[in-house]
Structure formats: C-alpha cells, structure tokens
Amino acid sequence: MNDVSIKVCMGTGGIAAGGVEVMSTFEKALASAGIKAAVAKNCSTHKVGCRGFCARDVLVDVIIDGNKSTYQYIKPDMVERIVSEHIVNGAPVGDWLVTDDYHTFHDKQVKVVLSDCGEVDPEDIESYISRGGYDATKKVLTTMTPQETIEVIKASGLRGRGGAGFPTGTKWDMAIKAPGPVKYLICNADEGDPGAFMDRSVVEGNPHAVIEGMLIGAYAIGAPYGYVYIRAEYPLAVERLHLAIKQAKERGFLGKNILGKGLDFTIKVKLGAGAFVCGEETALIASIEGKRGQPRAKPPFPVQKGLWGKPTIINNVETLANVPYIIRKGAAWYAGMGTEKSKGTKVFALTGKILNSGLIEVPMGIPLKEVIYDIGGGIEGGKKLKAVQTGGPSGGCIPSNMSDTTLDYESLGKVGSIMGSGGMVVLDETDCMVNVAKYFLEFTKSESCGKCIPCRIGTKRLLEILTRITEGKGREGDIELLETLSSDVKTSSLCGLGQSAPNPVLSTIRYYRDEYEAHIYEKRCPAGVCKDLLSYSILEEFCKGCTACTRVCPAGAIIGEKKKPHKIIQDICIKCGACFETCKFKAIKKG
Amino acid sequence: MERKLEDILTRYRENEGNLISILQDLESEFGYLREDAIMWMSEQLDVPPARFYGIATFYAQFHLKPRGKNIITACCGTACHVKGSERLITSLVKELAIPEGEETSEDLKFTVEKVNCVGACSIAPVIIVNKTVHGKMTPDKLMKEMKTLKEGKREYTDYI
C-alpha cells in the first residue's frame, strides 16, 4: 500500500453534520505512530467541497492506491473502525458504505461546473492545477486572441445562469466593443433567492474555477479590474475565496503581466450587506460604489455605463465557472449537451419535501420528473408531489400533473415559471399554495427597495390581500383583484424585482384557483396550513396521556395529567402543529 | 474607542473603500452601529450622518441597537419555511423572552434574528447558534440547545 487519501466533505452541509470533527479524528488516528508504520508512505487527509448529496453527510472518501470507497453518515466515533479495518487491514466497513441509491442519485447527472467540486481541495491551488486547472488560462493567453475567445463562448451557447439567460458570448462581445481602457468585470455571487445555494457551493467547493472564469473573461473583454460581490451571509465561501485569490496571486495567475503575456488583472472582494435587490445589475453597482443599492433605469446599460461610469460586465458565479471547462474541452462539446436553445448543464439546489435533497447538475432539457423521482428519490415520507417551485420569488410553480415539463429556459417560461438561478423547492400535499404565494410576497415586499411606486406599494397591497385570504377574511372578487394588480405591478415596475414579484401569485392562481376559492368562499384551507382556518383538538379515546405533546407545545397550551387524556386550551394554542406531528397515537385532530 | 475608530478609518483610506465597508467594520468591531461612532466618522470624513443612516437602514446586515451576547439566527428561506421554521422562531422568542417587535432580550443576553436564506437548504430547517450551523432542527432539539446555552455549558467554535 502506497497511497492513502481521505476526503471529507466540508461544505456547509458537511460542517453542520460534524465534518470538522470527523476530519480531525482521522488526522489524529492517522498521525499515531502505529498506524503510520502499518500503512503507507503517503497518507493524507483533505477537505473537499460539496459533493451534492448533503442529505447523507458527513460523506467520506477513502482512496487506497486509486480505489475509492465512499462512506455516508459518518460520525467521529466511527472513524476508528474505518481506520483499523479499512485503512490498516484493507477491508472496507461494508455497513457504512454508500448504498445503491447513492449511485442512482449520481447516474442521471452530468457534471461540468461541479465536476471538480468534492474532488479538489478548495483551499489548495495545487489540487485544482493537478486536475487541469488554469490550463484554459494558458490556452487562451498563448494561442487565442480575445475575439477568438469570445467566439468560442458564443459557439458554446452558454447563457447567463443568474436567471435571465442572456447569451454570455454576446454580452462579452458588447463589452469588447465598448470604448476606453478601463473596464470592469464583476462576478455576481449575491445569491439572494431563498432556497438556492448553487453559487455558495461552487465558491466553497471550487473557488479557482470562478477565478479562472473571471480571468478568461477579463482577457476577452479587456478588463483590468474585477470584483466579486458576495453575500456576507456566506462566511465560509468568503474565506475560501480570499484564500484562493491570494494563492492565485502567488502563482502569478493574478496581478501584473500574467504568465508573462502582458495581461493585468486584479480581483477585489466586496461583501454584500444583505439586500436581495442587489442581485439586480445596476443596484449591485450602486452597492459596490458604497451607496444604497437601488436600481436605476436602463439604458444606459452597465456595458455602456457601469461601475464608476465605466463599461462593466456582470456575470453570475455559475456562468463564469463554466468558462474554463468550455475552453478546455471546446465549444462543440458543451453545445452537444442540452436542447437547441438551452445548451450545456444547469446546477439546481434540490430542496424541500424531497428525499435526496442536495446539489445536482443535469443537462438542460431533462424532464422534471426524472429529477424528482430518479435523482431526488421521490417525496419524503411517502407523500404525494404537489408542485415544484422554481426561480424563487421571481418564479412560479409547476404542478405535479405537468412533471413532463423539461428543464430549459423556454419550457419553463411556457408553464409560467422561470429557470431562475436554480432553486428548486419541492412541495407536497401538505403545502398550501396560497400560503406559498404569501410567503414570497412577504419576501419581495420587504426586499423592495422602495424607489418605484408600483413595486413598493403594489407588493404591499398584494400581500395584504393574500394575508386576508389566509386569515379567512377573503372577499368575493379578491382573486380577480390579485390578477389585475399583479399585471399592473409587472408592467410598470422599474427593475426585475418588481417585474417578477407577482409571478408566484399569478402562477398559483393559474394552477390552484380552487384552493384560493376554498379559502375565500368556504373559509377552509385544504392543505391544513393556514392557522386561522384550523383548530387542533385531542381525541380522548386515542390519547394515552404520554405527555409528549405537552413537552413540544411551545405555547404551553396543552394540559392534563400523566396517563389521562389531555386537552388543548384553544385560547392559548398558536396552532403550530407541533403536537400533531409528535403524537404517536394519532390522537390530535386537525380541522 | 477613538483608537479603534482610527484603525478603521486608516483601513478605509488605504483600501479606497466606501461607506458600506466602514459600516461593516464598525458593526464587527462593536457588534452594532453606535451613534457616537457614526458621528465621529461623519466628522472625520465630512460626510453627513444622514448618508450613513440611509445606508445603514437599507441593508439588513446593519443594526442600530445593541445586540445580545448570544446570537441565534433563524433561516427563513423557502425550504426552511416549508419545513417549519416559523414554529422554531415562535418557540425561540418565547423561550428566550424576546419582547414583541424586538430582536434582543432585555438583559442583552440573546438576540433572535431572521435571515432570508443561509444557503444550507438541504439540511432545512436551519438555526445558527453563535456561528455554528445546526441543520434539521426540531423544536425539541432546539430547546435542549437553548438550555445548554442558557446555562453557559457550551463553548461555541468559530469555524463557519
């Protein structure tokens, strides 16, 4: 045995599941003299980024002389047995290895952006270089002109992964033609959609791919200065990005006269301060300039007049992370994946009521049902799929009977949703669609910057109507009012936030009008979510008096002696449903 | 305090930063934006305090009131929402005696804040206790965690 390498998943999911402790236990175990003598010359532990299957964390790879075994659900106290049985004696611990469904999770995925995530050590540039990293930089700097670089990106069909899907090559082409020596390239890592963590995982798992993508973009458009605008809520990503920039500088991939080819490029990191609207280009620029992040009217577009009044290109993290791979493997390879108008792959954050939640990358044009049932493993707890929400607060819902819909920009637009940045939240039969619409309007209302009236007042009024519907105070004509107001807000708002804010309302009315009607006319929430339309009570004949419900009740609304039927005091009950979920005897009645 | 403020001002001048960076530094130095600190900066830079105030109230990251010793962050992203984050918040507010409409308990021991999304959706619902991420939270687990926190039994590490 010569080489033993251990890779521990240390994305946010991995760390939350105890990745740091698992890693240090491995380090300690391997450092002990006895094992060193028994094993190998080359024994190393590495932290790696997100491997996607966060539901199974902590995931650990043990690679002995090139043979990889993957363990799931690893805790520190399991390390010793893995070391003694597998590493010292060469027999993997069968009980803890990943099962077949781990492979099914990966089978239908095609990894480009994520191909090195979970393989490279994000804190070590050498690890990225050893897998072909920065080869693309060398290729463009030594063999291609900026215009040729842009042509490759155009031919690959790569479109902006931030949501709108504007062709990246075309955008770069506009920038190279913009006059002046000072241009800026901004990487938008202000991933604000709730329910999305693609960009976070890419920056945490493979920050050098993003830096390399920026570098190639900077060469193509002639921008000497770059910024990464990243959310302060992502501390680990920020830390790894800073480290990666430092290492890239040391290796001569950033700074003056890069690779001796006369290219200058520096990257600065700017921390977002928590405003969703800063994902909008002009608001993001205002924020980098140190102002309130309020959008302005376009034109002039940022490519004409952007940061500090200079031509500026803003690309999303995932878009940029695709670039090095496209340059390395060629435009034809990339364009060979996906559909006619949506090329390549897309990363999605698959979350909600799904069994295998995590980060996935699939070819464009894959049917939604394959993602839900083959990769996602179906719905949690054997419940029924109700809808899939894509595009976050700017998107819409795809109902279960339309799960044949393919995932590409055009098809998603047709069903009234959007690709968005890649958040995919799975909803089951216990989710109320009116409540979901209300949730998103609460979000957009509080994130509206307040500059234009349709968005500032419109989202507030939409939310008020939705709130009264969920409180059982809905009026006749409310649905029509929502529809009219939504279309007004969409057509008259200044920026994308307001223009898309009513989408969740329109899409839920389109497919679930009956649920709205049940709330308004029958004062009933069919999914049993809206508190004001619900009450909980205890069925005495089933209650064993086990006191489980009294312990979980956050309001202290349940009384009763041990081993005797309990009672819920309706005035105190906050209708949170904790008792309903805790009771093993089905003694709590919801209705 | 003057010393600390001067440090921040030097960093700002050297790094051609902007008002947001100053506010971020002030926030991390003092835990919130102290009025006297803003006034001092305003005078040094000849920028009206109203501009600081405008920025501070625009971004969710800034706080104008002192915050608790322990900070408990509840994620309110979509995945956490459909998996019951609201219930966790209700029980936190009650357990830690946070006054209505406020974020921080009167004794300045606890702050409960809601954030949009921390991007850890696959382990929803998520609660962050003093920078340590706890996934798949249940009301039961949360109450146990709060108990250890109240008794000061747990030292929290700082790796996130």
ipTM, 2 decimals? 0.88
pLDDT of residue A268: 95
Distance CA B70, CA A562 (A): 36
User: Does residue B80 share a domain with residue B9?
Assistant: no
Distance CA A439, CA A445 (A): 10
User: Does residue B50 share a domain with residue B10?
Assistant: yes
User: Measured between beta carbons, which residues in chain A are less than 8 angstroms from residue B86?
Assistant: 576
User: Does residue A328 share a domain with residue A252?
Assistant: yes
pLDDT of residue A173: 96
Q: Cβ contacts of residue A41 below 8 Å, gap of 6+?
A: A2, A3
pLDDT of residue A100: 84
User: Does residue A423 share a domain with residue A438?
Assistant: no
Burial class (CB in 10 A: 0-12, 13-18, 19+), B48: exposed
User: Does residue A479 share a domain with residue A561?
Assistant: no
Chain A nearest CA to B102, separation (Å): 17
Q: Taking every pair of C-alpha atoms in chain A, what is the biggest distance, in angstroms? A: 83
Distance CA A494, CA A281 (A): 13
Number of domains in chain A: 5
Number of domains in chain B: 2
pLDDT of residue B157: 44
For residue A508, the domain's CATH number is 1.20.1440.230
Chain B nearest CA to A349, separation (Å): 8
Task: Tell whether the model's pLDDT for residue A454 goes beyond 80.
Answer: yes
Chain B nearest CA to A353, separation (Å): 8
User: Does residue A262 share a domain with residue A187?
Assistant: yes
pLDDT of residue B160: 34
pLDDT of residue A376: 93
Average pLDDT over residues A104-110: 90
Task: Tell whether the model's pLDDT for residue A93 goes beyond 60.
Answer: yes
CA angle, residues A265, A270, A273, in degrees to nearest 5 = 165
User: Does residue B76 share a domain with residue B47?
Assistant: no
Asked if residue A276 belongs to a domain, the reply is yes
Asked if residue B157 belongs to a domain, the reply is no
User: Does residue B111 share a domain with residue B91?
Assistant: yes
Asked if residue A340 belongs to a domain, the reply is no
Please identify, among B36, B58, B80, the residue that sits at the C-terminal boundary of a domain: B58
User: Does residue A73 share a domain with residue A13?
Assistant: yes
pLDDT of residue B158: 40
Asked if residue B12 belongs to a domain, the reply is yes
* Cβ pair A576:B86 closer than 8 A: yes
For residue B95, the domain's CATH number is 3.40.30.10
* Cβ pair A20:B159 closer than 8 A: yes
Task: Tell whether the model's pLDDT for residue A1 goes beyond 50.
Answer: yes
Confidence band (pLDDT; 50, 70, 90) for B116? confident
Domain that holds residue B118: 70-150
Work out the percent of chain B whose per-residue pLDDT is above 70: 92
Distance CA B136, CA A17 (A): 10
Please identify, among B58, B81, B104, the residue that sits at the C-terminal boundary of a domain: B58
pLDDT of residue A36: 63
- Mean pLDDT comparison of A45-49, A58-62, A125-129, A528-532, highest-scoring range: A125-129
User: Does residue B90 share a domain with residue B126?
Assistant: yes
User: Does residue A414 share a domain with residue A444?
Assistant: no
Average pLDDT, chain A: 92
Task: Tell whether the model's pLDDT for residue A40 goes beyond 80.
Answer: no
Asked if residue B156 belongs to a domain, the reply is no
Average pLDDT over residues A58-80: 90
Chain A nearest CA to B48, separation (Å): 13
Task: Tell whether the model's pLDDT for residue A33 goes beyond 70.
Answer: no
pLDDT of residue A301: 94
User: Does residue A299 share a domain with residue A249?
Assistant: yes
**DSSP code for A91:** -
Asked if residue B37 belongs to a domain, the reply is yes
User: Does residue A76 share a domain with residue A56?
Assistant: yes
User: Does residue B54 share a domain with residue B74?
Assistant: no
* Cβ pair B94:A236 closer than 8 A: no
Q: What is the edge-to-edge ordering of all strands in the sheet holding B132-134? A: B110-115, B70-75, B127-129, B132-134
Give the residue from B117, B146, B156 with the most A CB atoms within 10 Å of its CB, the best one to mutate. Answer: B117
A89-93, A581-585, B13-17: which has the minimum mean pLDDT?
B13-17
pLDDT of residue A484: 97
| Assigned token pair, A309 | 């009044």
Contact A512/A529 with Cβ under 8 angstroms? no
Question: Position A324: which residue type?
Answer: P
Burial class (CB in 10 A: 0-12, 13-18, 19+), A586: exposed
Asked if residue B120 belongs to a domain, the reply is yes
The label of the residue with tokens 């005495």 reads A540
pLDDT of residue A552: 84
Q: CA torsion sign, A457 to A460 to A462 to A468?
A: negative
User: Does residue A152 share a domain with residue A295?
Assistant: yes
Please identify, among A462, A495, A521, the residue that sits at the C-terminal boundary of a domain: A521
User: Does residue B25 share a domain with residue B52?
Assistant: yes
User: Does residue B14 share a domain with residue B34?
Assistant: yes
Confidence band (pLDDT; 50, 70, 90) for A151? very high
Average pLDDT over residues A255-271: 94
Average pLDDT over residues A157-175: 93
Asked if residue A459 belongs to a domain, the reply is yes
User: Does residue A25 share a domain with residue A80?
Assistant: yes
Task: Tell whether the model's pLDDT for residue A215 goes beyond 50.
Answer: yes
Q: Which residue has the higher pLDDT, A576 or A61?
A: A61
Asked if residue A546 belongs to a domain, the reply is yes
Q: How far is CA A539 from CA A542, A551, A589, B58, in A?
A: 6, 18, 7, 50
Strand partners, A427: A387
pLDDT of residue A89: 84
Contact A200/A341 with Cβ under 8 angstroms? no
Asked if residue B41 belongs to a domain, the reply is yes
User: Does residue B144 share a domain with residue B107?
Assistant: yes
Contact B24/B59 with Cβ under 8 angstroms? no
Task: Tell whether the model's pLDDT for residue B6 goes beyond 90.
Answer: no
For residue A573, the domain's CATH number is 3.30.70.20
User: Does residue A171 share a domain with residue A245?
Assistant: yes
* Cβ pair B61:A274 closer than 8 A: yes
In degrees to the nearest 10, what's the CA dihedral of A304, A343, A366, A361?
Answer: -70
CA angle, residues A284, A286, A289, in degrees to nearest 5 = 110
User: Does residue B145 share a domain with residue B115?
Assistant: yes
- Mean pLDDT comparison of A129-143, A568-582, B15-29, highest-scoring range: A129-143
Asked if residue B65 belongs to a domain, the reply is no
Please identify, among A412, A428, A444, the residue that sits at the C-terminal boundary of a domain: A428
Distance CA B117, CA A197 (A): 9
Asked if residue A104 belongs to a domain, the reply is no
Give the residue from B18, B62, B122 with the most A CB atoms within 10 Å of its CB, the best one to mutate. Answer: B122
For residue A387, the domain's CATH number is 3.10.20.600
Chain A nearest CA to B156, separation (Å): 13
Domain that holds residue A509: 433-521
User: Measured between beta carbons, which residues in chain B are less than 8 angstroms from residue A317?
Assistant: none
User: Measured between beta carbons, which residues in chain B are less than 8 angstroms from residue A194?
Assistant: 76-79, 81, 116-117
What phi and psi values does residue A520 have, to the nearest 5 degrees?
A: -80, -50
Average pLDDT over residues A540-548: 91
User: Does residue B94 share a domain with residue B37?
Assistant: no
Q: Which residue of B has its CA nearest to A198?
A: B119
Count CB neighbours of A127 within 10 A. 18
Task: Tell whether the model's pLDDT for residue B16 goes beyond 60.
Answer: no
Distance CA A472, CA A520 (A): 6
DSSP A314-343: EEEHHHHHHHHHHHHH-HHHHHTSB-SSSB
Give the residue from A425, A430, A445 with the most B CB atoms within 10 Å of its CB, the best one to mutate. Answer: A425
Closest CA to A4 of A39, A48, A51, A47: A39
Q: Which residue has the higher pLDDT, A148 or A107?
A: A148
Distance CA B140, CA B143 (A): 5
* Cβ pair A353:B82 closer than 8 A: yes
Question: Position A36: which residue type?
Answer: K
Chain A nearest CA to B140, separation (Å): 6
User: Does residue B38 share a domain with residue B15?
Assistant: yes
For residue A23, the domain's CATH number is 3.40.30.10
A-B contacts (CB, under 8 Å): 159
User: Does residue A511 share a domain with residue A544?
Assistant: no
Beta pairing, strands B70-75 & B110-115: parallel
Distance CA A159, CA A282 (A): 20
* Cβ pair A357:B122 closer than 8 A: yes
User: Measured between beta carbons, which residues in chain A are less than 8 angstroms from residue B117?
Assistant: 192-197, 233
- Residue A299: cis peptide before it, omega within 30 degrees of 0: yes
Average pLDDT over residues A545-573: 90
CB-nearest to B81 from A276, A293, A439 is A439
Q: Which residue of A has its CA nearest to B85?
A: A576
What phi and psi values does residue A328 have, to the nearest 5 degrees?
A: -65, -45
Distance CA A168, CA A569 (A): 60
For residue A167, the domain's CATH number is 3.40.50.11540
Please identify, among B19, B36, B58, the residue that sits at the C-terminal boundary of a domain: B58
pLDDT tens per residue across span A392-406: 999 999 999 999 999
In degrees to the nearest 10, what's the CA dihedral of A569, A571, A575, A576?
Answer: -80
